[in-house]
Structure 1
Amino acid sequence: MSLTESSAVDVARSASLASRRLATLSNDARNEALTVLHQALNKNRSTILAANARDIELATQAARDGNLSQSVLKRLDLSRPGKYDDMLEGILSVRNLEDPVGKVSLRTQLDEGLSLERVSCPIGVLLIIFEARPEVIANIAALAIKSGNAAILKGGKESTESFVAIAKVVAEAISATQVPVASIQLVKTRDAISSLLAQDSEIDLVIPRGSNELVRYVKDNTKIPVLGHADGLCSAYIHSDADKDMAVKVIVDSKTDYPAACNALESLLVHEDILGSTFPAVAEALIAKGVSLRCDEPSLTALTKVLSADQAAKIQPATEADYNTEFLDLILAVKTIPSTNPPAAAVEAAIAHINAHHSKHTDIILTESRELANMFMSGIDSAGVYWNASSRFADGMRYGFGTEVGISTNKIHSRDRLDWRD
């Protein structure tokens, strides 16, 4: 990896040349580079965390002044328990994956002695534009090297100290391997994004990782194909037959495990028939974890009857805007799904609401019925659809893919379906 202030043309061109060399390296050579990368980042942990602490200090003041959101501040923190170790483990997980390059997925005999094969190959040069998360550098470096792709990275200003520290460690590590140093480049100049987005002859794919605004800006300002990682307006629907204990566990984990993550739950849909039974148990568990609920009239009325005064202080009426908001905090919007006959009509209503308000990231259903679960998962237009499982499973490590760049909500790739009961 090299820290560079070169022109966009030079950066893209050097990355393109490096990608051709990288694409010819053996899997063993690429894996060796990942081993060295892991060792270097582990050895320099204290230096990197010290740099990250400097970023955190500045970002904390910016948050106090109202110039930075709390969610960005949380994503910036590499000292969060387990986060640095997860970054390191992600590198090893990627290293241990099967070689993605040169896999034959189709072979057709066209004539005697003449065969046609479909073989996987690297994309070429990736441009990854991201915000806040400093561990993204290590994630992308590992994925790019393993898959034989060069990567150009442009991060947010909030993580400058962390980026520089990590980049220096990665550059030194890569220089001792067969991987060309220009395979991974971190661009520092502030005005680099618009210039890089114009390099469609050298850059093959752009992956913006961050806010919806960032993704939209990238899509509107480049001819390069874009693999968008949009915001995470994730929803859950609790059907009338859902197991109460499971509902409590799944919803609490989905919302409170890491509220600032894009796979955290933002909206909860509840069947009318369980407003007086399962829903209060879920609400009490959420409130105990510090969650504030923004409820529609039926769910608000139901909770007012059973909650204590202290608990009731954590609920308030919902607005229509709440169902379109990615809170990234301990706030959850609640919507009641009317009781209908047949039961499938309620699922249809839940599907309609979610498809009208979500961001096509990850949505879940809690039910005992396989038929209704399949109906929900077929009807929801999302990258991930889950049955009786937490939205927090939308993660490269949990999928067994190693680390990740982002959860794409595009339709040109495979989508994920998780059935907890299977």
Structure 2
Amino acid sequence: MSLTNASPADAARAAKSASHVLATLSAEARNDALTAIHAGLTAARDEILAANARDLELARQAAADGKLSASLVSRLDLGKTGKWEDMLKGIWDVRDLEDPVGRVTLRTKLDDGLELERVTCPIGVLLIIFEARPEVIANIAALAVKSGNAAILKGGKESTESFVAISTAISNALSQTQVPNDAIQLVTTRESIPQLLALDRDIDLVIPRGSNELVRYIKENTKIPVLGHADGLCSIYLAASADAKLAADVVVDAKTSYPAACNSVETLLVQESALTTVFPAVASALAAKGVELRCDAASKAALSPEITTNIKDATAKDYDTEFLSLTLAVKTVPDLSAAIAHINTHGSHHTEAILTADQAEAERFMSAVDASGAYWNASTRFADGMRYGFGTEVGISTNKIHSRGPVGLEGLMIYKYKIRGQGHVSAVYGEGEGKKRFKHERLAI
């Protein structure tokens, strides 16, 4: 990994060249590089956390001055309980996954002596642009190396010292391996972003991780395919048949375990017939955790006076807002169909959940909502690469093509078709007189 001072064009060309080497390395060589990265980060822990503390001090001051959001400060904190350990564990988890490169997914006998194979291969060069979240560097470096992809990373200025410290440790580690130094690069200047976004000949995929504004800016300013999501506007539908304790536990976890995360719930849709039965227990549990409820008239009227201090009247805008804080919009809906319609109109295609005792209702919900994740009686916070068993993730995609949901190794692979023949030519095949027909026999993989 290098802290590159090269021009964006030179950095991209170097990454492209390195990607061709990285794609041909053995699984053992790539795994050895991950072992080295883990050891290097472990050895540099004190220096990295000290650099992160300096970033945090400046970020908290900026937040106090109204120049930075509290959610961004929360994402920046690498010393938060379990965060450092999770980052390192993610590297081990990725290393121990099955090698994704060169897997045969299709074999077809086109004719005698003429066989077709479809095999997995790396995408090429990834450009990852992100804000805060210093652990992203380690996550992406691990996934990129394991999947045989080169990566150029550009972090936000609020995390510069953390990024540099982590990158230095990774760079030192990779220098002892077969992975080319230019395969993973960190770009530190903001001015490089528009230039990198123009390099569609050398960069194959852009993955933004950050605010809505960042993602939208990138999507509007590049010809390179973009994989990511602009909003994490997740909803939970509370049906009348739901168990009150189950519902309270799930909604509280989805809202309060990490409010600044993109998989935190932002809207609670309450079935009208649940307003006086299940909903009060859920609202009380949320109030006990300090959650502010933005309620419509019907849901507000259903609540007892002791929690009204945590309630405000909802506006139409609240149902389109990713709060990233201890704020939750509440809306009353008559039935499942109305809940699905609301989600498909206002949602961001991220993760949606239903709380119900009715399996048929749950299955209908999970089939009908337009989202990368649909859950039954489970918190939206499960939308995570580590929790899915992917080791870690480069981000969560709400795209309708290629990868969707948490993007791990599989999402960083594409296909290559290989044909092995014995001097075969295409002109002899066809439907006319004297033409040969293809056999198209499926072969075992």
TM-score (norm 1): 0.95
Provide the residue aligned with 1:147 in structure 2.
147
Provide the residue aligned with 1:44 in structure 2.
44
CA contact (8 A) 2:294 2:312 kept: yes
Structure 1 residue 358 corresponds to structure 2 residue 354: no
Q: Please state how far the C-alpha of 1:367 moved relative to its aligned partner.
A: 1.1
Identity %: 67
Q: Please state how far the C-alpha of 1:272 moved relative to its aligned partner.
A: 1.1
Structure 1 residue 403 corresponds to structure 2 residue 392: yes
Q: Deviations over 1:9-67 (max 9, x none)?
A: 10000001100110010001100100110111111111100000000000000000000
Moved over 6 A (4+): none
Q: Deviations over 1:117-176 (max 9, x none)?
A: 100001110000111111100000000000000000001000000001001000000000
Provide the residue aligned with 2:322 in structure 1.
326
Provide the residue aligned with 1:391 in structure 2.
380
Work out which of the residue numbers 363, 367, 370 in structure 2 matches 1:378.
367
Give 1:332-351 correspondences, 5 Å limit.
332-338=328-334, 346-351=335-340
Q: Please state how far the C-alpha of 1:245 moved relative to its aligned partner.
A: 1.6
Task: Give, in whole Å, the separation in 2 of the partners of 1:223 and 1:274.
Answer: 48
CA contact (8 A) 1:293 1:332 kept: yes
Task: Give, in whole Å, the separation in 2 of the partners of 1:321 and 1:231.
Answer: 14
Task: Give, in whole Å, the separation in 1 of the partners of 2:360 and 2:216.
Answer: 37
What letter matches 1:189 in structure 2? Answer: T
Give 1:5-20 correspondences, 5 Å limit.
5-20=5-20
More displaced stretch, 214-223 vs 56-65: 214-223
Give 1:76-95 correspondences, 5 Å limit.
76-95=76-95
Task: Give, in whole Å, the separation in 1 of the partners of 2:285 and 2:181.
Answer: 50
Provide the residue aligned with 2:162 in structure 1.
162
Task: Give, in whole Å, the separation in 1 of the partners of 2:246 and 2:316.
Answer: 28
Task: Give, in whole Å, the separation in 1 of the partners of 2:67 and 2:216.
Answer: 21
Q: Please state how far the C-alpha of 1:210 moved relative to its aligned partner.
A: 1.1
Q: Please state how far the C-alpha of 1:368 moved relative to its aligned partner.
A: 1.4
Q: Please state how far the C-alpha of 1:370 moved relative to its aligned partner.
A: 1.7
Gaps of 5+ in 2: 407-445
Aligned positions, number: 406
Give 1:21-420 correspondences, 5 Å limit.
21-303=21-303, 306-308=304-306, 311-338=307-334, 346-413=335-402, 415=404
CA contact (8 A) 1:210 1:231 kept: no
Task: Give, in whole Å, the separation in 1 of the partners of 2:83 and 2:230.
Answer: 22
Task: Give, in whole Å, the separation in 2 of the partners of 1:144 and 1:99.
Answer: 12
CA contact (8 A) 1:230 1:361 kept: no
SS of alignment partner, residue 153 of structure 1:
strand
Larger Rg belongs to: 2
What letter matches 1:402 in structure 2? Answer: G
SS of alignment partner, residue 249 of structure 1:
helix
Task: Give, in whole Å, the separation in 1 of the partners of 2:121 and 2:305.
Answer: 58
What letter matches 2:27 in structure 1? Answer: N
After superposition, the Cα gap between the structure-2 partners of 1:415 and 1:216, relative to the gap in structure 1 and judged at 3 Å, is closer
Gaps of 5+ in 1: 339-345, 418-422
What letter matches 1:163 in structure 2? Answer: F
Q: Deviations over 1:269-319 (max 9, x none)?
A: 01111111211100111111111101000000010xx241xx210011111
SS of alignment partner, residue 120 of structure 1:
strand
CA contact (8 A) 1:207 1:229 kept: no
Task: Give, in whole Å, the separation in 1 of the partners of 2:169 and 2:186.
Answer: 12
SS of alignment partner, residue 332 of structure 1:
strand
CA contact (8 A) 1:15 1:183 kept: yes
More displaced stretch, 26-35 vs 226-235: 226-235
Q: Please state how far the C-alpha of 1:416 moved relative to its aligned partner.
A: 6.1
Q: Please state how far the C-alpha of 1:415 moved relative to its aligned partner.
A: 4.6
Q: Deviations over 1:375-409 (max 9, x none)?
A: 11111111111111100000000000011111100
Q: Deviations over 1:221-251 (max 9, x none)?
A: 1111111232211000011111112111111
Provide the residue aligned with 1:341 in structure 2.
none
Provide the residue aligned with 2:419 in structure 1.
none
SS of alignment partner, residue 87 of structure 2:
helix
| Cα RMSD after superposing both structures | 1.1
SS of alignment partner, residue 396 of structure 2:
coil
